[in-house]
């Protein structure tokens, strides 16, 4: 994620104006969503083969299990679940009616014996749950969907869990986000902004970056509406009544918070990029020429990143530009989310933000934070890449950023974050400066080896700050290790070293 106020003083005034506009918009939308949800049918359809078990949310058992809900994330104890590993999500969404009709098939493998297990799902009405085609008992408690198999799962069992649900997705209140997170409904269409806790607003899953999976997302929309999702477009089918189904497939690993859908009046491009990467943008059709001209920097930025970080890790890349002013941009996997405001900021700044979101595809998307406390690994690296790229183009300066850092507020230790300060300026600025301080201390050759080892060792996985420090120690010894530790842990932000 990247907000303008976090980094560039020159844009602070613009950012404040955009932020308040965005919040107003989202407050309206949230209120509308809540009202709609309240009025939606709330009966729970029969979903069980066990006569003894009631299936409504009032069911007495099973209860939420502390051992099964959450993966031990200190900042977000309820995110994710324990006891299984997800291999694939197959999400079918139908947006042609008054409410979202959805089916998600979660293919998972038990990592322990389970007489029940949890998926994360917020709001929505669950009509039924089945395991390998057989209806099973389920219960709801806050964001936990508690599923009881007809026969307990044994460690190593691989099953397909089908959840049928409907409703108007309710974004998840999160103080760190620019608005309630997850699925967003607007007059012109929909989009998704989930980091860190919003994915459960639109599909049931194991909502933590430590459990990545492949995704197939099919979206049925009314005539004249386009739907875009991560990966490659497998096909478009007409349903007969004018509705159209877009089938998107991503065979690469993806964390739940990076999965997304956008529907609306979009033009979707499909161009051959470097090394076989499909360049796919989704832009508002009414401004398509203008927006695509702004996005012509995508390929040169991608080439700069590949040169520095190695092969681009996914099948496709592009940007979806929504008509709203969002006051942030977000690195949804293969489909970075941009509001009209960021694109309209002007070429250099829009390109710098595009560099930031693209850099996340290595730092955050390929190698994800194993705990949300490690968010600086995402934002510090994306800020480093953004500034390194912009400095190469001649419109950014590390020493100026270091001088301006104190004006952005708290620049304290990087792991001292809370759910409400997850995206504070320090994780970007102190994080990015710390990484540049490492480069200036150990030189480009060792620095590039750190990047290569980090990205290779933890590809398609998640890692912690300690994992990162172990790589720095291994490659650079105490010289780099002590610098990096000071930038991460010292109470005061260290002095920024001069270019060697
Ligand atoms: Zn970011």
Centre of ligand 1 to C-alpha 363, Å, is: 9
pLDDT of residue 308 exceeding 50? yes
For the segment 453-457, the average pLDDT, to the nearest whole number, is: 98
**Per-residue confidence at 369, pLDDT binned at 50, 70, 90?**
very high
Centre of ligand 1 to C-alpha 359, Å, is: 9
Centre of ligand 1 to C-alpha 37, Å, is: 32
Centre of ligand 1 to C-alpha 5, Å, is: 13
Write the DSSP symbol of residue 295.
Answer: G
pLDDT of residue 49 exceeding 50? no
Contact between 217 and 261 (Cβ < 8 Å): yes
Supply the pTM of this predicted model: 0.89
Centre of ligand 1 to C-alpha 360, Å, is: 7
Question: How many whole angstroms separate alpha carbon 395 and alpha carbon 349?
Answer: 9
Centre of ligand 1 to C-alpha 216, Å, is: 25
**Per-residue confidence at 57, pLDDT binned at 50, 70, 90?**
very low
Q: What is the pLDDT of residue 54?
A: 39
Residues paired with 338 in a beta bridge? 321, 329
Q: What is the pLDDT of residue 438?
A: 98
Centre of ligand 1 to C-alpha 393, Å, is: 20
- Tell me yes or no: is domain 43-264 CATH 3.40.50.720: no
Percent of the chain with pLDDT over 70: 88
Q: Where in the chain is the domain with CATH 2.60.40.1730?
A: 43-264
Q: What is the pLDDT of residue 387?
A: 97
Cis? peptide before 196, omega within 30° of 0:
yes
**Per-residue confidence at 147, pLDDT binned at 50, 70, 90?**
very high
For the segment 234-241, the average pLDDT, to the nearest whole number, is: 94
Question: How many whole angstroms separate alpha carbon 393 and alpha carbon 116?
Answer: 55
Q: What is the pLDDT of residue 53?
A: 39
Residues paired with 316 in a beta bridge? 278
pLDDT, one tens digit per residue, over 21-31 is 232 333 333 33
**Per-residue confidence at 61, pLDDT binned at 50, 70, 90?**
low
The structure tokens listed for 49 are: 């083969």
Centre of ligand 1 to C-alpha 249, Å, is: 24
What are the φ/ψ torsions at residue 9 (nearest 5 degrees)? -55, -40
**Per-residue confidence at 427, pLDDT binned at 50, 70, 90?**
very high
Q: Where in the chain is the domain with CATH 1.10.390.10?
A: 367-489
Centre of ligand 1 to C-alpha 332, Å, is: 10
Centre of ligand 1 to C-alpha 99, Å, is: 32
Centre of ligand 1 to C-alpha 238, Å, is: 37
Contacts of 304 (CB under 8 A, 6+ apart): 355, 389, 392
Centre of ligand 1 to C-alpha 375, Å, is: 9
Centre of ligand 1 to C-alpha 406, Å, is: 20
pLDDT of residue 76 exceeding 90? yes
pLDDT of residue 264 exceeding 80? yes
Centre of ligand 1 to C-alpha 162, Å, is: 33
For the segment 252-259, the average pLDDT, to the nearest whole number, is: 98
Question: For 48-189, where are the E strands, in sequence order?
Answer: 84-94, 100-110, 117-120, 125-131, 134-135, 137-141, 144-148, 158-167, 182-185
Q: What is the pLDDT of residue 176?
A: 75
Angstrom CA distances, 358 to 96, 128, 177, 334, 362, stand at 32, 38, 20, 9, 8
Question: For 186-281, where are the E strands, in sequence order?
Answer: 190-193, 213-221, 226-228, 232-238, 244-254, 262-264, 266-268, 271-272, 278-279
pLDDT of residue 406 exceeding 70? yes
pLDDT of residue 285 exceeding 50? yes
pLDDT, one tens digit per residue, over 96-140 is 999 999 999 999 999 999 999 999 999 999 999 999 999 999 999
SS3 288: helix
Question: How many whole angstroms separate alpha carbon 449 and alpha carbon 476?
Answer: 9
Q: What is the pLDDT of residue 340?
A: 83
Centre of ligand 1 to C-alpha 423, Å, is: 9
Query: CATH: 3.10.20.340, 3.50.50.60, 3.30.70.520, 1.10.390.10. Which one for 367-489?
Result: 1.10.390.10
pLDDT, one tens digit per residue, over 175-199 is 777 789 999 999 999 999 999 999 9
Centre of ligand 1 to C-alpha 330, Å, is: 7
> In what side-by-side order are the strands of the sheet with 316-317?
271-272, 278-279, 316-317
Question: How many whole angstroms separate alpha carbon 395 and alpha carbon 276?
Answer: 30
**Per-residue confidence at 4, pLDDT binned at 50, 70, 90?**
low
CA 123 to chain centre: 19
Question: How many whole angstroms separate alpha carbon 339 and alpha carbon 313?
Answer: 25
Centre of ligand 1 to C-alpha 350, Å, is: 14
Residue 160: burial class (beta carbons within 10 Å; 0-12, 13-18, 19+) = middle
pLDDT, one tens digit per residue, over 336-363 is 999 987 777 667 888 999 999 999 999 9
Angstrom CA distances, 416 to 93, 203, 490, stand at 39, 31, 11
Centre of ligand 1 to C-alpha 258, Å, is: 12
Centre of ligand 1 to C-alpha 415, Å, is: 16
Centre of ligand 1 to C-alpha 142, Å, is: 29
Count Cα neighbours of 236 within 13 Å in the Cβ-side half-sphere: 14
User: Which residue would you say has higher pLDDT here, 144 or 7?
Assistant: 144
Q: What is the pLDDT of residue 58?
A: 42
Write the DSSP symbol of residue 170.
Answer: -
How many other C-beta atoms can be found within 10 angstroms of the C-beta atom of residue 38?
Answer: 9
SS3 310: coil
Centre of ligand 1 to C-alpha 437, Å, is: 19
Centre of ligand 1 to C-alpha 364, Å, is: 9
Question: How many whole angstroms separate alpha carbon 177 and alpha carbon 175?
Answer: 6
Dihedral in degrees, nearest 10, Cα atoms 350, 354, 355, 357: 140
Centre of ligand 1 to C-alpha 150, Å, is: 43
Centre of ligand 1 to C-alpha 44, Å, is: 40
String of DSSP letters for 10-48: GGHHHHHHHHHHHHHHHHHHHHHHHHHHHHS--------
Centre of ligand 1 to C-alpha 425, Å, is: 11
Centre of ligand 1 to C-alpha 55, Å, is: 42
């Amino acid at each position: 994620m990247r907000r303008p106020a976090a980094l560039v003083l020159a844009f602070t005034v613009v950012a404040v104006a955009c932020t308040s506009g965005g919040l107003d918009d989202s407050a309206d939308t949230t209120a509308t969503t809540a009202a709609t949800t309240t009025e939606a049918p709330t009966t729970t359809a029969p979903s069980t083969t066990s006569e003894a078990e009631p299936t409504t949310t009032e069911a007495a058992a099973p209860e939420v299990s502390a051992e099964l809900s959450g993966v031990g994330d200190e900042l977000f104890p309820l995110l994710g679940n324990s006891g299984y590993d997800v291999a694939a999500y197959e999400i079918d969404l139908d947006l042609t009616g008054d409410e979202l009709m959805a089916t998600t098939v979660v293919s998972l493998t038990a990592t322990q014996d389970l007489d029940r297990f949890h998926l994360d799902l917020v709001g929505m009405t669950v009509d039924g749950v089945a395991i390998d085609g057989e209806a099973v008992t389920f219960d709801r408690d806050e964001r936990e969907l508690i599923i009881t198999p007809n026969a307990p799962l044994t460690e190593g069992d691989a099953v397909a869990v089908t959840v049928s649900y409907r409703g108007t997705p309710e974004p998840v209140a999160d103080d760190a986000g620019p608005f309630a997170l997850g699925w967003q409904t607007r007059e012109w269409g929909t989009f998704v902004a989930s980091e860190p806790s919003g994915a459960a607003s639109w599909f049931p899953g194991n909502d933590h970056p430590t459990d990545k999976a492949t995704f197939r997302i099919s979206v049925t929309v009314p005539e004249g509406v386009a739907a875009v999702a991560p990966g490659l477009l497998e096909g478009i089918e007409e349903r007969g009544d004018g509705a159209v189904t877009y089938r998107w497939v991503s065979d690469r690993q993806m964390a739940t918070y990076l999965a997304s859908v956008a529907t609306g009046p979009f033009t979707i491009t499909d161009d051959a990029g470097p090394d076989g990467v499909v360049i796919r943008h989704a832009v508002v059709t009414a401004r398509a020429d203008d927006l695509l001209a702004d996005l012509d920097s995508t390929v040169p930025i991608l080439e700069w990143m590949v040169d520095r970080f190695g092969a681009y890790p996914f099948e496709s890349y592009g940007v979806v530009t929504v008509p709203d002013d969002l006051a942030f941009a977000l690195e949804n996997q293969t489909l970075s989310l941009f509001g009209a405001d960021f694109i309209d900021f002007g070429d250099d700044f829009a390109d710098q933000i595009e560099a930031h979101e693209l850099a996340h595809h290595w730092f955050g998307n390929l190698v994800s934070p194993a705990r949300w406390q490690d968010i600086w690994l995402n934002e510090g690296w994306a800020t480093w890449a953004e500034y390194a790229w912009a400095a190469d183009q001649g419109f950014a300066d590390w020493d100026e950023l270091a001088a301006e850092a104190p004006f952005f507020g708290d620049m304290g230790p990087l792991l001292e974050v809370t759910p409400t300060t997850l995206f504070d300026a320090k994780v970007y600025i102190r994080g990015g400066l710390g990484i540049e301080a490492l480069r200036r201390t150990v030189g480009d050759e060792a620095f590039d080896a750190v990047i290569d080892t980090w990205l290779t060792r933890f590809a398609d996985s998640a890692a912690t700050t300690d994992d990162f420090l172990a790589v720095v120690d291994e490659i650079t010894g105490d010289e780099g290790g002590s610098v990096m530790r000071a930038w991460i842990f010292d109470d005061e932000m260290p002095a920024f070293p001069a270019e060697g």
